[in-house]
A = this chain, B = another copy of it.
Amino acid sequence: MANPRILELFPNPAPGRDYVIEHTHHEFTSICPITGHPDFGSITIRYVPDRSCVELKSLKLYFHAFRNEGIFFEAVTNKICDDLGSLMRPRSLTVVSDWKGRGGVTSVITAAWKPGRRGPRR
C-alpha cells in the first residue's frame, strides 16, 4: 500500500494568512480489487496549510505508489485524506477523487479532514 512516508513537507511560506492550496493529479490509476482491471481518475487535494505544505514531487510519487494496489474508490479517498491530514495537520483539507466511467458509470468521492481530529473511527 502507498506509504505516506514518501510524502515530504516544507514550511508554509505565509503562516500568518489563511490561504488555499489545491493540487490535482490528473493521471491517478489503481486496480479494482474485484475484477483486477485498472481504474483511472483524478485526485484533487485542497487545503489551508498550517505549519507545513506538501512538496509537489513527493506528492506525485505518493500517488504513483497506488498504481498496482487493489483498492476501492471509497477506501483510497479516505486513505489519502487520513495520510495527508495526519502528516500536515492543516487548518482544513478536502480530498476529491473523480473516476472515469466503468460500464457507463462515473463516480466522485469527496472527504474532508479537520484540525484537532485524529482521523475517522474505523
- Chain A interfacial positions (CB closer than 8 Å to B): 12-27, 29, 34, 37-38, 40, 49, 53, 56-57, 59-60, 64, 67-68, 72-75, 77-78, 81, 100-112, 119-122
Contact = CB atoms under 8 A, between A and B. Distances in A.
A72 B11 CA distance: 12
A13 B106 contact: no
Contacts of A107: 21-24, 56
State how many copies of this chain the complex holds: 10
From DSSP, what is the main secondary structure of chain A's interface residues?
A: mixed
B25 A105 contact: yes
Contacts of A64: 37-38
A24 B100 contact: no
Contacts of A120: 14-17
A60 B103 contact: yes
A38 B8 CA distance: 21
